[in-house]
Structure 1
Amino acid sequence: MGLSVKGKGFIRRHLEKLTLEIGQRNVGSDGNREAVDFFYNFMASLGYDMQKDDFDCIEWECSEVLLKAGHQEYQAFASPYSLPCDARAELVHVSTFDELKKIDAWGKILAITNELTKEQIMPKNFVFYNPEEHKQMISLLEEKKPKAIVCITGHGEGVSGGLYPFPVFEDGDFDIPSVYMKNVDGERLIKFIGQKVQLSIEAERISAKSYNPIARKKGEGKGRIILCAHIDTKKNTPGALDNGTGVAILMALAEELREYKGLYDIEVIPFNGEDYYAVPGQMLYINQNNGNFEDVRLVINIDGVGHKDSKSALSFYNLSDHETKEVMSVIGNYKTLIKGEEWYEGDHTMFLQKGVPCIAVTSSNCRDVVMNISHTPKDTIDNVDIVLLENLVTALKEIISNVT
């Protein structure tokens, strides 16, 4: 049985509200607050029991960056959440860990390239995934105490795939001012090694507040099913695929489940902070649960779904063979759904690490296409196929009804 005409209309209207009317929803911004209010009020209108959990966060604004060497100005961008800077200092350069260990960078402007800028460095206090190499790099930089860092990068990969240049640092807990620039410009800049260069960053970290909304529907027994999708975005993107579609699906699915009489409680959570360095909504939720999710029967996380040239790809974690077979029997009824490859760059990871059964849903072309659109102004509603979302809502409702 498909969605009602009303249900189909809900998906498009929710997505238009989030991406066209509100737009960017970075944590701490007015748009973020408007988005979580929109979700909260809609879910309350459906009769769900609502919870609102406030948290402190940082909004960040940057008005200007000036990088000058000799008589030449270079295009550079402030790393998101960077502290301000007004420096004229000697330029030094390193491209490897060994060079970083040996360099005298105290009070200087440090340019980093190659091995040190091949990927985005995880925030220093990020608990879910933080490679030892990243932690060592942050520690070394803080030990060396440069006045500022210039990151010279190529094209991004993974979640930064659509960006050139890309920010190596995006961390409000890292207090060395930094900028990033294209490698073609950086090659000219490093010719000034040993000479004084000028770097000015006019930026500000602004204390702000937001909240995590949680909607609940009581079941007839013990245990719970968690339906989640992050509601926040990076700056400067309308966030249609990442992750307006996920939130629109949650809201349409909640409408379909408003008369739910199943065995387990339903929790619907638009996590607030997946694209923010401190993941505050997720950390708050973990702490509220004392890190204990033994009563969670299933988590379904939706992120990056609905690209017009894709299918909806469902991947499974910690499911039994029988449970996987049950879900596959539902998927087989839809030409727009397939079994997908496992991926870990999403909110389901914090549950699967605890052994909780999880289903993660994204676009089948997520790595090849969607990651080159997400986090950019190109992530618009024009890339979305609403029919994919409609079919997914219907399938997820069936999967939820089959959970025993």
Structure 2
Amino acid sequence: MGLLAKIAKPRPVGTAQNQQITDYIGSYLESLGYETIKIPFSCKVWEAKESFLVIDGIKLTLQVNPYSESFAGTRKATVVRSLEELERVECVDKILFLTEELAKESLQPKNYPFYYPNEHKVIIDCLEAKKPSAIIAITGGTPISGLKPFPVMEDGNFYIPIASLDKDIFLEIKDQVLEKELELSIVSKNDLTTAYQLIASKKVTNPKGTIVICAHMDSKYNTDGALDNASGVATMLSAAKGIENHRYNIDIVPFNSEEYYDPQGELIYLKELEENKKEVSLVINIDTVAHVGSKVAVATFNFNGKEQLELDGTTNSCTNIVRGQPWYAGDHAIFAFGGTKCIVIYTSDLFEECLSYTHCPKDTIDLVDEKLIENAAEYICKVVNAYK
């Protein structure tokens, strides 16, 4: 578990630990004969402390949404439940409670380059136009992480202070908030710093193209991110030792902003591909793999029938590897949508159980099965080494 233990620590983009782990991954890959480059980018490092709402002398704990601005003061409050109510409400210089339809899911960051649905844009644009002093989102649990209450906003380009309150608590006080003077404290701080996107490469003579093996290395705040995605990085690094393909250049890419509101690492790598006129033949993305009690699932994109049959043969010959269903919420998506052949490797119980541990303190190293990391790495080596 040496690789996993070195990576499974809180490592949000730009933090000191993120930098240390970036350097460790680079040194490890250099020791295997890969050439590495580190490309800097500017990012925010976030820190929050105890935040609360006081209603009739009762102090309620809030969860600050990552990268929120700070707020301290007393204001009247109003509640909105739908976009129609939001469009009508007058809430300048008030505390705005978002509930029901408006707080059913996390909103994509503003202008996210790969995916920014119009329904999210409409809500965010309206919130900014309404100019509340602060926002409190009433949320609970979510099927896509272990956070409760989950953040509605995680965006350093959204400048209205915002925190979340558990909806079960809100049910007890909802009749007490309207047009009352409420005391609110959101303690949040953002500092600009520099992070790095690492790219490691092995080149061959007269390559037929480039095979990309990637796994995002950053984590959310307040989690070791063992499953998501130290497991994927450990798998990627283990596979890097056994790759022997003399037909294709190999890029090993630990993406360093997948959990960040601004995907600088991904954009940097896409630019590097364009500038160096690299033709990507295959992408293998590893994200949240090796959960104890599961198997290793593989899903494919853009393979023709013959290629899929060959890949199925490899899958069937490997221990603990099973066919999975395609999904797009990962670093392979931009390549898959562009028509590149992609394989995503993940834990077979990702959607049934595993996501409930992610993005929160529950995601610890004891949830990861070392043997499944070995199985996944062996599978990657078989696929890459035989790829023609």
Shorter-chain TM-score: what band?
Answer: over 0.9
Task: Give the structure 2 partner of residue 59 of structure 1.
Answer: 45
Distance in structure 1 (CA, Å) of the matches to 2:50 and 2:7: 28
Unmatched runs of 5 consecutive residues or more in structure 1: 1-11
Secondary structure at the aligned position of 1:289 is classed as helix
Secondary structure at the aligned position of 2:330 is classed as coil
Distance in structure 1 (CA, Å) of the matches to 2:374 and 2:234: 10
Matched letter for residue 70 of structure 2: P
Task: Give the structure 2 partner of residue 132 of structure 1.
Answer: 118
Q: How does 1:178-193 map to 2 (within 5 A)?
A: 178-191=162-175, 192-193=177-178
Determine which of 71, 80, 89 is the counterpart of 2:57: 71
Distance in structure 2 (CA, Å) of the matches to 1:287 and 1:104: 44
Task: Give the structure 2 partner of residue 111 of structure 1.
Answer: 97
Determine which of 81, 84, 87 is the counterpart of 2:73: 87
Determine which of 24, 43, 66 is the counterpart of 1:38: 24
Task: Kindly indicate whether the alpha-carbon contact (under 8 Å) linking 2:210 and 2:278 is maintained by their aligned counterparts in 1.
Answer: no
Q: What's the CA shift for 1:219?
A: 2.2
Matched letter for residue 299 of structure 2: S
Task: Give the structure 1 partner of residue 229 of structure 2.
Answer: 243
Task: Kindly indicate whether the alpha-carbon contact (under 8 Å) linking 2:70 and 2:161 is maintained by their aligned counterparts in 1.
Answer: yes
Q: Per-residue CA shift, 1:31-74, capped at 9, x if unaligned?
A: 11111011001111122111111111000111231211221111
Task: Kindly indicate whether the alpha-carbon contact (under 8 Å) linking 1:64 and 1:203 is maintained by their aligned counterparts in 2.
Answer: no
Secondary structure at the aligned position of 1:300 is classed as strand
Matched letter for residue 262 of structure 2: A
Distance in structure 2 (CA, Å) of the matches to 1:345 and 1:276: 13
> Comparing 123-132 with 35-44, which one deviates more in the overlay?
123-132
Distance in structure 2 (CA, Å) of the matches to 1:385 and 1:166: 27
Q: How does 1:181-330 map to 2 (within 5 A)?
A: 181-191=165-175, 192-220=177-205, 221-257=207-243, 260-290=244-274, 295-330=279-314
Determine which of 381, 387, 390 is the counterpart of 2:374: 390
Task: Kindly indicate whether the alpha-carbon contact (under 8 Å) linking 1:111 and 1:190 is maintained by their aligned counterparts in 2.
Answer: no
> Comparing 199-208 with 92-101, which one deviates more in the overlay?
199-208
Q: Does 1:356 align with 2:340?
A: yes
Paired residues, what number?
386
Task: Kindly indicate whether the alpha-carbon contact (under 8 Å) linking 2:245 and 2:386 is maintained by their aligned counterparts in 1.
Answer: no
Structure 1 residues 355 and 276, CA, compared in 2 at 3 Å: closer, same or farther?
Answer: same
CA RMSD of aligned residues (A): 1.4
Task: Kindly indicate whether the alpha-carbon contact (under 8 Å) linking 1:293 and 1:354 is maintained by their aligned counterparts in 2.
Answer: no
TM-score, scaled relative to structure 2:
0.97
Q: Does 1:14 align with 2:3?
A: yes
Secondary structure at the aligned position of 2:115 is classed as coil
Q: What's the CA shift for 1:289?
A: 3.0
Matched letter for residue 183 of structure 2: Q
Task: Kindly indicate whether the alpha-carbon contact (under 8 Å) linking 2:273 and 2:279 is maintained by their aligned counterparts in 1.
Answer: no
Secondary structure at the aligned position of 1:194 is classed as coil
Unmatched runs of 5 consecutive residues or more in structure 2: none
Matched letter for residue 255 of structure 2: F
Task: Give the structure 1 partner of residue 134 of structure 2.
Answer: 148
Distance in structure 2 (CA, Å) of the matches to 1:273 and 1:348: 14
Q: What's the CA shift for 1:181?
A: 0.8
Task: Kindly indicate whether the alpha-carbon contact (under 8 Å) linking 2:7 and 2:21 is maintained by their aligned counterparts in 1.
Answer: yes
TM-score, scaled relative to structure 1:
0.93
Secondary structure at the aligned position of 2:96 is classed as strand
Q: Per-residue CA shift, 1:372-402, capped at 9, x if unaligned?
A: 0111111111111111111111111111112
Distance in structure 2 (CA, Å) of the matches to 1:103 and 1:382: 48
Secondary structure at the aligned position of 1:111 is classed as strand
Distance in structure 1 (CA, Å) of the matches to 2:278 and 2:271: 14
Task: Give the structure 2 partner of residue 6 of structure 1.
Answer: none
Distance in structure 1 (CA, Å) of the matches to 2:66 and 2:275: 29
Matched letter for residue 128 of structure 2: E
> Comparing 102-111 with 291-300, which one deviates more in the overlay?
291-300
